Structure 1
Amino acid sequence: MALTVISLNDLLKSDSTLEEINTLLFSFECKSLSHGASDVEEFLHTKAVNFEKIDMARTYLVLSEYKNKPYLAGYFAISPKPLVIPKRQFAKLSTSQKKKLMGFGHRTDMKNYECKGYLLGQLGKNYSEVAKKANQLSGRDLLTLAYGKIKEVYAIIGGRILYLECEDNEKIKNFYRDNGFRQLEDYISPNNFCLFVKQIKDL
């Protein structure tokens, strides 16, 4: 199995036309119509290119081959964005969770909690017919590839944590727990998503 990670930003600067790039992006399909899954699909289809242009996030496409033809196996998007928990939400956390967070973050002048790190904004496997037949990429593989890019940035500018939001789905939450993320049990984002964190040193 040969997996190649290509930056969408580099692709946009290449000789590829926007039509060719969109054809590739729209070959990505989710297997579910749940809120979280549809967001992963919609991001790649309608937001990723614009996010690159305004430097809001970097999207990486994972490509492979099936029957000698390239296809999109999955993708991930990351942003250098601190984790900020409003003081009201922080106050609701358990004492043990507060202590753990304060171990690698701090309270701001506004009494919010802040920790320097990176947001894993999107992570998705392609469930198109071709991708399913090829079956060359697992969720763990995709996380490992994302870790590689985050480590590259961390070596240059530092940071403390990697965090992400996901829907309140036990299968999805167990996936992140099995891969070393910890859920902030008493925290729900404004989008009604759960919050998971992992220290950079543990990637």
Structure 2
Amino acid sequence: MALNVISLSKLLASGQPEEDIERLLFSFESLSDNGAAEDIELFLHKKAIQFEKVDLARTYLVMSTFKDVPYLAGYFSIANKPLIIQKKVYSKLSTSLQKKLMGFGHKTDQRNYECKGYLIGQLGKNYSVQAQVARQLSGKDLLELAYRKILEAHEIVGGRIVHLECQDIPALKKFYEGNGFREIKDFESPNGMCIFVKNISAIQ
């Protein structure tokens, strides 16, 4: 099985017609009609190209081949974004987690704590008929590929944590916990999502 990671940014700069790129992105299908799956599909179909153009995030397409036919197996997006925790939330965290986070960040003012790092904004496997028949990519594979890109950025600009948001869905939370992420309890993102963190040293 060969998995090739292609930068959407480079693909857009290659001179290839944007309509062809959009067609590739629209070959991605989510698993079901739950909110988490819909968000992953919507981002790639409607937002990824715009995010590239305004430098909000970088999206990477994971390509593979099945019976000599190339297809989109999955994708992930990464942003260079610190994790901001309000003081009132931080004070409720366990002492061990406070020490862990403050070892990786600093207090910006009287209200916020900032931990430098990278946000995995999106992570999704393709569930099109072709991709499901091929079965060449796992969620863990996607995370490992995202880690490689994060480590490339880390080598250049530093940073200490990887963080992500996910809906309060037991299967999703179990997946991230099983891959070494720790949920920050009683802390939600502005859009009501659960926050998970992992030390970059744990992925090196």
Q: TM-score, normalised by structure 2?
A: 0.96
Give the distance between the partners of 2:191 and 2:120, measured in 1 at CA.
16
Structure 1, 124-133 or 102-111: larger mean CA deviation:
102-111
For 2:65, what is the secondary structure of its paired residue? strand
CA distance in 2, matches of 1:190, 1:117: 18
Q: Secondary structure at the match of 2:192?
A: coil
State the identity as a percent: 61
Between 184-193 and 51-60, report the one with greater CA deviation.
184-193
* Contact 2:88–2:111 (Cα < 8 Å) also in 1: no
Indicate conservation of the 8 Å contact 1:93/1:187, yes or no. Answer: no
TM-score (norm. length: structure 1): 0.96
Q: Which residue of 1 aligns with 2:96?
A: 96
Residue 137 of structure 2 corresponds to 137
Q: How many equivalent pairs are there?
A: 203
One-letter amino acid matched to 1:167: Q
Structure-2 residue corresponding to 1:193: 193
Structure 2 residues without counterparts, runs of 5 or longer: none
Q: Distance in 2 between matches of 1:126 and 1:62?
A: 10
* 1:137, distance to aligned residue in structure 2 (A): 0.2
Q: SS of the counterpart of 1:92?
A: coil
In 1, distance between residues paired with 2:141 and 2:81?
23
Deviations 1:32-83 (A, max 9, x none): 2222211111100000000000111000000001121110000000000111
Q: Which residue of 2 aligns with 1:78?
A: 78
CA RMSD, 1 decimal: 1.1
Name the SS of the counterpart of 1:109 in structure 2: coil
The answer to whether the Cα contact below 8 Å between 1:73 and 1:136 also exists between their aligned partners in 2 is: yes
Q: Do 1:115 and 1:160's aligned partners in 2 also have CA atoms closer than 8 Å?
A: yes
Post-superposition CA distance 1:74-95 (Å, at most 9, x none): 0000000111112232233333
Residue 50 of structure 1 aligns to a residue whose secondary structure is: helix
Tell me the amino acid that sits aligned with residue 142 of structure 1: L
How many Å separate the matches in 1 of 2:15 and 2:136?
A: 28
Q: For 1:184 and 1:56, how far apart are their aligned partners in 2? A: 24
Structure 1 equivalent of residue 108 of structure 2 = 108
Three-state SS of the structure 2 residue aligned to 1:9 is helix
- Aligned residue for 1:70, secondary structure, equals strand
Match of 1:169 in 2: 169
43-52 vs 26-35, which moves further: 26-35
- 29-38 or 1-10: which moved more? 29-38
CA distance, structure 2, for counterparts of residue 157 and residue 8 of structure 1: 21
